[in-house]
Structure 1
Amino acid sequence: MTTPSSATAPTLFYGVPSGCSFGSIVALEWLGQPYRLSRIEMPEMVTSDAYRRINPVAETPSLLTADGQIISESAAILNHIGARGIAKGIGFAQGTAQFDRLNQMLGFLNTTFFNAFVPLWHILEHGSDANEAAVLREYGRAKVIRAHALLEAMLGDQPWLLGEHKTLADAYFAGIARWTRYHDVIDRRDYPNLQRLYDKLEADPAVVFAHAIEKQKPAVTAGGFLGEVDMGEALEWLPLAA
């Protein structure tokens, strides 16, 4: 059994299937520093009393940091990772123009791009009668189309969302953009800039790794991944945060 002293590496609690925590896994791989993962099945485990000890909101991702603090919300976790990855260019120092641009893009991805899919997820996760489902689907479709059109224009002919180098924003995009496979409301090929970015990310070793982790297949890490830990075992480390 892993001893409490082994909790000196961050542990990311990631949601499956297809949680937005995918982006945090990608970011940790890009960072290349030691970390662990803890798999949280949705909706069963994420709504359990045990997981609510980690995140009372019952959402993923959550990050147990090396010093025993818990961070929730993707943007906060990504910025935490980014602060450790400034030298690699995936994040930037607070107070710089690049930091502001990154936060602006993360804000858009969270409040507009992510949010566009919410009505469609509601249909799948909670069920709806035919009339309600039709209304929610059309509402969601309009939101997804708008979000893709806006991001398509923002990206333009740049190689990555913020320009010449990949950042945390691209990692977050990778986890959300794949949701079109569940909700057949658009064809990403109608947005060639986004399709180009998506294809490039899908070929990235960190994204390939994150897919393999979610599917519980052999995964090749860039060097930081120390393995998976059961949620029950990770809970034993929580008193260390006190």
Structure 2
Amino acid sequence: MNPILCYGVPSGCSFGSIVALEWLGKPYQLCRVEMPEMVTTEVFRRINPVAETPSLLTNTGDVISESIAILSHIGAQGIEQKLGFAQGTREFDQLNQMLAFLNTTFFGAFAPLWHALEHSAEGAKKEALTHYGRGAVERAHTALEAMLGNKEWLLGKQRTLADAYFIGIARWNEYHKVVDRRDYPGLQRLYNKLEADQAVIFAHAIERQEVGASSGGFQGEIGLSDVLARLK
């Protein structure tokens, strides 16, 4: 059985897991989950009780949720491609450190802005959320720009899972218009390079329900009921 990634739209952080699966190049399938309509249903809660995407049904029928756990699972299969690294190595620790930063500081910076947008906050509440979120996003970009430095990719000369996860979050600035990425030339360079990557182009096409050319092992999309039928 091929692994199946349940990805969230619109613009879920599961985007990075699609890119990572493309880079891995092994057979996989996708299951589209509309947010918030489908993700909060009792049907999807059978896959992930927290009612969030992404979730990955492995080829053994087990379910893994949370982006970092899914990316780590993919990374363990992608050591030859240097998407991930063997536990206990210096590179393994560096990758985990970068993923942790992206998952907490970088991802979390956008949370107040998403709350204001999705819950139609008004007045003083919207102003407070927006002010806090904008400051957090600016600080996160400043920190990540310093961490990137002159490196080609987030961890150096080789792209890793961290770059896949980065592009899925960095694009959120297009919704909220917080920063001008040109003020962060290293991140702008990385963003542009990733946007031109075939796997990223494919992931965008998948989200828009357009025909995209997979550079990996994409085996098609299936419905949520089919995913449930394959659970252990």
C-alpha distance in 1, partners of 2:121/2:47?
Answer: 31
| Structure 1 segments (4+ residues) deviating >4 Å | none
C-alpha distance in 2, partners of 1:52/1:214?
Answer: 22
- Is the partner of 2:80 in helix, strand or coil? helix
Q: Which residue in 2 is equivalent to 1:88?
A: 81
Q: Which residue in 1 is equivalent to 2:137?
A: 144
Q: Which residue in 2 is equivalent to 1:175?
A: 168
- Is the partner of 1:88 in helix, strand or coil? coil
Which letter does structure 1 place at the counterpart of 2:60? D
Q: Which residue in 1 is equivalent to 2:118?
A: 125
Deviation at 1:228, TM superposition (A): 0.2
C-alpha distance in 1, partners of 2:153/2:139?
Answer: 20
Calculate the TM-score normalised by the size of structure 2.
0.99
Q: Which residue in 2 is equivalent to 1:161?
A: 154
Aligned residues: 232
Structure 2 residue 25 is matched with structure 1 residue 32: yes
C-alpha distance in 2, partners of 1:75/1:200?
Answer: 23
Deviations 1:194-237 (A, max 9, x none): 00000000000000000000001111011400000001111111
C-alpha distance in 2, partners of 1:185/1:169?
Answer: 22
Structure 2 residue 221 is matched with structure 1 residue 228: yes
Which letter does structure 2 place at the counterpart of 1:49? E
Structure 2 residue 105 is matched with structure 1 residue 108: no
C-alpha distance in 2, partners of 1:117/1:123?
Answer: 10
Which letter does structure 2 place at the counterpart of 1:70? V
Question: Please, which runs of 5 or more residues in structure 1 have no aligned partner?
Answer: 1-7
Deviations 1:136-189 (A, max 9, x none): 000000000000000000001100000000000000001000000111221111
Which letter does structure 2 place at the counterpart of 1:150? A
Structure 2 residue 195 is matched with structure 1 residue 192: no
Deviations 1:56-86 (A, max 9, x none): 0000000000001100000000000000000
Calculate the TM-score normalised by the size of structure 1.
0.95
Deviations 1:6-45 (A, max 9, x none): xx11000000000000000000000000000000000000
Pairwise mapping of residues 2-81 of structure 1 onto structure 2 (< 5 A)?
8-81=1-74
Which letter does structure 1 place at the counterpart of 2:107? F
